[in-house]
Amino acid sequence: MGNSARRFLISFTLSNITLTLHFFNTKTMIQEKLQERSNNQCELCSSTNNLSVYTVPPRDSESEENSILICETCNTQLNDESKVEPNHWRCLNDSMWSEVAAVKVVAWRMLNQLRGEGWPADLIDMMYLEDETLAWAKEGSATEDEEEKIIHKDSNGVVLESGDTVVLIKDLPVKGSSMVAKRGTAVRRISLDHENANHIEGKVDGQQIVILTQFVKKS
Report for 21-25, 59-63, 129-133: range of highest mean pLDDT? 129-133
Q: Read off the pLDDT of each residue in 162-172 and give the average, rounded to a whole number.
A: 92
Q: Read off the pLDDT of each residue in 109-129 and give the average, rounded to a whole number.
A: 89
Domain 149-218: CATH superfamily is: SH3 Domains (2.30.30.40)
List pLDDT tens digits, range 44-72.
Answer: 999 999 999 999 999 888 899 999 999 99
The span from the CA of 219 to the CA of 216, in Å, is: 9
Angle between the N-to-C axes of helices 131-139 and 101-113, in degrees from 0 to 180, rounded to the nearest 10? 50
Indicate the domain borders of the chain: 3-139, 149-218
Helix (H) / strand (E) containing 176: none
Say how many Å lie between the first and final Cα of the chain, rounded: 77
Residue 10: strand, helix, or coil: helix
What's the pTM value of the predicted model, to 2 decimals?
Answer: 0.58
Q: Provide the mean pLDDT of the chain.
A: 85
CB neighbours (10 Å) of residue 12?
10
Please report, for the chain, how many H helices and E strands are present, in that order.
7, 12
Q: Read off the pLDDT of each residue in 82-89 and give the average, rounded to a whole number.
A: 94
